[in-house]
Amino acid sequence: MKEKLRQALASRQKVELRSIGLIEAAVLIPIFCKDGEYSILFTQRSEQVPHHKGQISFPGGARSKADATLQDTALRESREEIGLKAKDADIVGELDDTPTTTSGYNISPFVAFIPYPYKFVLSQYEITEIFSIPISELLHKVKRKKEHHTFGGQVFMGYSYEYQGRVIWGATAKIVEQLLEIWQAICQT
């Protein structure tokens, strides 16, 4: 599956929004395989961080001047937030840039396969917990709800996902939706 996803991501044209005046940011979408089933790792942000308090997200954040690329940003933030070492993240590609409507960020999402099990070390300041959701659950079983948001005078349609009392919405849900569309297409070939 990893190589199929790598090929699918490499063969598509990524939508970039870097010229619209938003703050550059990047996230890592960690995928791992446990007992033959692929899952996505999520984080829940603490109430102490300046933006997106308590929200479900992926490890990531704003680009630093020290980051040569946005991929470097995703890897650095993953190390800082959950203790994931860059050498343990096999990045297979990138999804479309995703703007946040409330905080002015433009998120570049990087998809990576990580080893399982893994000894994560959470930043107590930034992250309250990590959890995973099997991709099969996201595709077929979780409660998915259609939502509409306005950004820059345009109306965008998106989804939210509810899983075991957790709600994934906003930019994170949009990123999940992109990944699931590609995942389903790969599974059908």
Indicate the average pLDDT of the chain: 91
pTM beyond 0.75, yes or no: yes
Quickly state the pLDDT bin for 108 (edges 50, 70, 90). Answer: very high
Burial class (CB in 10 A: 0-12, 13-18, 19+), 22: middle
Q: How many angstroms separate the CA atoms of 137 and 145, rounded?
A: 15
Domain boundaries of the chain, sorted by first residue? 2-187
Q: What is the pLDDT of residue 127?
A: 95
Q: How many angstroms separate the CA atoms of 75 and 14, rounded?
A: 20
Which amino acid makes up residue 134? P
Q: Can you name the CATH fold of 2-187?
A: Nucleoside Triphosphate Pyrophosphohydrolase (3.90.79)
Q: What is the pLDDT of residue 151?
A: 57
Quickly state the pLDDT bin for 147 (edges 50, 70, 90). Answer: confident
Q: How many angstroms separate the CA atoms of 93 and 111, rounded?
A: 6
Q: What is the pLDDT of residue 143?
A: 81
Q: Which one is predicted more confidently, 52 or 184?
A: 184
Q: How many angstroms separate the CA atoms of 163 and 144, rounded?
A: 9
Q: Which one is predicted more confidently, 137 or 52?
A: 137
Closest CA to 184 of 134, 133, 136: 136
Q: For 36-83, write each residue's pLDDT tens digit.
A: 999 999 999 887 765 666 789 999 999 999 999 999 999 999 999 999
Locate 48 and state its tokens: 């102490």
Q: How many angstroms separate the CA atoms of 123 and 1, rounded?
A: 31
